[in-house]
Amino acid sequence: MLLSLFGRSLLTLLDFSPEEIRYLLKLSNKVKAEAKKGKIFKRFSGKTLALLFEKRSTRTRCAFETAFGEEGGHPVFLSTADIHLGEKEAIEDTARVLGRMFSAIQFRGFKQETAETLAKHSGVPVYNGLTDLYHPTQALADFLTLEEAFGNVKEKTLCYVGDGRNNVARSLMIISAKLGTHFTVVTPPELFPDDELRKKISPLAAASGSVITVTPDINAIKGADAIYTDVWISMGEEDKREERLKLLSPYQVNKTMMEKTGKSGSIFLHCLPAIKGEEVTADVIDGPQSRAWDQAENRKHTIKAVMLATLTKI
Ligand code: CP
Ligand code: NVA
C-alpha cells in the first residue's frame, strides 16, 4: 500500500510511524530542492489555513504563512486577541466553525488539549505549532538539518543540554526514538523529562535501536555529533526565571562545552529564539559549528511538506 498522510493532523509525532516521519523528511528535501531552483507551484490554490496563535512566534508563523501563501493558498492569522477561543466560545465550537471555513488549522498555544480538541471537532488537519508539551514541526526541521549534516541520522548521537522537560526536548526525544538516533538529555534532576513520556518512548527506542539517556552529568556530551539547546525559560514560564538561571547556569553551551564532544565535526543546533549569554554564547551560535540558521530555514520546507502531505494528493 502506498503511504498517504492525506487528512492527518500533526499533534505530537507520537502517532506517526518511523516510515511516515522518513517520508515527511524526504518530501521536505524535495520541496527544499524545488525552492532552491526557484520552482513555484500552486499546490495550495483554493485552500485556506487558519493560523491560531496564543503565544508569540517569528519562525513558525512566517514558515506557515509563506509556505502556504506562495503556493496559492490563503492563510489567515488569528491571534487570541482577535477571536473567541475558549473565552466566551467553547474551543469545540470554534473548531466546528473553523472546520467549515478552512482547509486546515495551525495552533500555537499553551495547552496540548486545545490542539487535540481542535483536531477532534474541526474535521480538518490540525498542526501543532508548539504547545507547552510538544513542538513537532520543530523536530522535523531539526532532523532535516541533521540529515543534511550527516546523511543518515540512525546511530548518530544528539545531545540536548538545558531544560530537559520542555516542549522541544520532549519532541526531540520522540523523533530520536522513532528514527534510531541516540538521544542524551543533559539536565539537572529537577528538570528531567517526565516518567510518563519516558514510558511511552521506551518501546519505540527499543524497536529502532535508539539509546535514550537522561543525566545531570555534563561529561555525557562526549562523543555527541550534535549539541542542541533551547531557552531556559519557555513562553508562559516567565515567573520561573530566577530558579532556572540558578539551575541551568552550569549547562550553558559555550566553547568549552562544545569541546567536550571530543569531535571536531560536531554541530550546534538551537530552535531559536536564542538568548545569547544565557543558554548559549555568541561565539558558539554565530560560529562555524552552528547550523541554527539552516534549522530556521528548514522550518519552512518541512512545514510545507507536512501541509502538502496532509492537504493534497501528491
Ligand atoms: N523555533 C520557533 O518555533 O520559533 P518561533 O517561536 O519564532 O516560531
Ligand atoms: N521552549 C521554547 C521554544 C520556543 C520555540 C518555548 O516554548 O518558548
pLDDT at 2 over 80: no
Which amino acid residue places its CA nearest to atom 6 of ligand 2? Answer: 234
Which amino acid residue places its CA nearest to atom 7 of ligand 2? Answer: 234
pLDDT at 303 over 90: yes
Q: Which ligand is nearest to the CA of 60?
A: 1
Average pLDDT over residues 59-81: 97
Ligand 2 atom nearest to 235, measured from its CA:
8
Per-residue model confidence (pLDDT) at position 1: 53
Per-residue model confidence (pLDDT) at position 87: 83
Per-residue model confidence (pLDDT) at position 183: 98
- 38-53 pLDDT per residue, tens: 998 999 999 999 999 9
Measured in Å, residue 235 CA sits from the centre of ligand 2 at: 6
Measured in Å, residue 243 CA sits from the centre of ligand 1 at: 23
Which amino acid residue places its CA nearest to atom 1 of ligand 2? Answer: 234
- 100-118 pLDDT per residue, tens: 999 999 999 999 999 999 9
Per-residue model confidence (pLDDT) at position 86: 82
- 73-91 pLDDT per residue, tens: 999 999 988 898 888 899 9
Cβ of 168 below 6 Å from ligand 2: yes
Average pLDDT over residues 13-21: 98
Cβ of 118 below 6 Å from ligand 2: no
Q: Which ligand is nearest to the CA of 163?
A: 2
H or E element, residue 67: helix 59-69
Which amino acid residue places its CA nearest to atom 4 of ligand 1? Answer: 59
Per-residue model confidence (pLDDT) at position 237: 98
What positions carry a catalytic annotation?
Answer: 108, 135, 138, 230, 271, 299
Cβ of 181 below 6 Å from ligand 2: no
Measured in Å, residue 2 CA sits from the centre of ligand 2 at: 35
- 190-217 pLDDT per residue, tens: 999 999 999 999 999 999 999 999 999 9
Measured in Å, residue 236 CA sits from the centre of ligand 2 at: 9
pLDDT at 60 over 70: yes
Ligand 2 atom nearest to 272, measured from its CA:
5
- 243-293 pLDDT per residue, tens: 999 999 999 999 999 999 999 999 999 999 999 999 999 999 999 999 999
Cβ of 166 below 6 Å from ligand 2: yes
Averaged pLDDT of the chain:
97
Among 280, 230, 208, 21, which residue's Cα sits nearest to residue 130? 230
